[in-house]
Amino acid sequence: MLLLIFFFSISSQLFSTSSSSSSHCTTVTSTKTFDNCKPLPTQQASIAWTFHPHNATLDLCFSGNFISPSGWVGFGINPTSSEMTGTRALISFPDPNSGHLLLLPFVLSSSVKLQTTPLVSSPLDDHPVHVVSSSASLYGGKMATVHNGAAVQIFATLKLSPNKTKLHVVWNRGLYVQGYSPTIHPTTATDLSSFTTLDVLSGSSSNPKTSSSQTLKVIHGVVNSLSWGLLLPTGAITARYLRHVESLGATWFYVHAAIQLSGFLLGTVGFAMGVTLGDRSPGIVYSLHRKLGFAAFLLAALQTLALLFRPKTTNKFRKYWKSYHHFVGYACVVIGVVNVFQGFEVMGASRSYAKLGYCLCLSSLVGGCVAMEVNSWVVFCRNSKEEKMRREGLICSVAGSEKASGSGTHLRNFD
């Protein structure tokens, strides 16, 4: 029952991660009134605009929020696709010298995405996106200052290509500016989904790329949480506590093998999804999550292959194989569980009901382990005590028979 609750909670929570931060949208600003306004799906951002078909010009206002007093907020138009590379952007940040709000134009090339070169300002007067004018102001007037959560409005007038009303809008925000060069933005799921395609004539928007990637991320998260985070720990628990139940015989081994094999196969599917997601996002690497994923998969593969070289119980190398099997198995379980929690951080669901549901399931397993461990120690101590008493009884009976060979005294009560 807990597994079902967990599955539905994690699915619904992760699907709503990218759409839970849209903002209120208004067409009225301090300097201008626009015809249309649309909340953007992430970062509490929005865009208001007025399109003039007779001369193909677009007046717009992008609204966003700073996440650091020394950070930056920007938006841009990509002439070809909904992605960062190739975007013509306007980025606002406080002047490092005077503290006044700046707005500079940038072209985001692939070298910037891969962080091989710093971002350098360049004019946006090329044919795909021609900026006629631009400005930025903090919400609240001249007395407002840049701080964490401060709202900024970026105004721009663009000259569009004739009959081109669909724009690939990209936006984001970062923590720091080095000199006059904005640094890379955070790489959470929300930050990596900050783009959409907007039709300024009809007002409609779409983002099939985000929808597809988000769906794959959710499936990746659910599959890996069930496999690495629940099935493999359950299989390890089965082997540790059921093998000593004499009435089960060898049944515990087949149950253990079935659970672990199912977890490994399901985890392999989730691992392949993770590799696919990495290939779709060149230059964006969740280093710790990736390393833990490869480590868990490698250990699980070695554990599975070890079954082919499992010595017989009479073999002298059996004890070494058991030590290897236990060490690799427990290491795989621990790394897998840690990586599940790391995955929640990557998905931006560190405080979600999905994580709470997983924690409840994991807590149930841990609670069961504690109860069975205590029971095992109670049984072990009782058996040890009985064995000690039995040995003492045998010694006493032998001593008694040597001293009084004709007596009928027996110490059967210790047996």
Distance between CA atoms of residues 159 and 61, nearest Å: 15
Would you state the structure tokens that stand for residue 230, as one six-digit string?
């629940």
Distance between CA atoms of residues 259 and 332, nearest Å: 15
Would you state the structure tokens that stand for residue 86, as one six-digit string?
């190739």
- What HEC string does 352-374 produce? CHHHHHHHHHHHHHHHHHHHHHH
CB of 165 within 8 A of CB of 199? yes
Q: Kind of pairing, strands 151-159 and 57-65?
A: antiparallel
Q: Which amino acid is at 63?
A: S
Distance between CA atoms of residues 208 and 201, nearest Å: 20
Q: Which residues line the annotated binding site for heme b? A: 220, 256, 289, 325
* Residue 111 Cα to chain centre, angstroms: 26
* Residue 223 Cα to chain centre, angstroms: 13
Q: Which amino acid is at 347?
A: M
SS3 189: coil
**Backbone angle region of 67, left / alpha / beta, with phi > 0 → left and psi within -120 to 50 → alpha:** alpha
Distance between CA atoms of residues 350 and 189, nearest Å: 12
Interior/surface letters 14-51, b for 16+ CB within 10 angstroms, e for the rest: bbebbeeebbeeeeebeeeebebbbbbbbbebbbbbbb
Distance between CA atoms of residues 58 and 51, nearest Å: 5
Q: Which residues line the annotated binding site? A: 220, 256, 289, 325
Would you state the structure tokens that stand for residue 78, as one six-digit string?
């990509």
DSSP-based helix, strand, coil % in the chain, nearest 5: 50, 20, 30
Surface-to-core class of residue 352, CB atoms within 10 Å of its CB (0-12 exposed, 13-18 middle, 19+ buried) = buried
Instruction: Read off the DSSP letter of residue 153.
Output: E
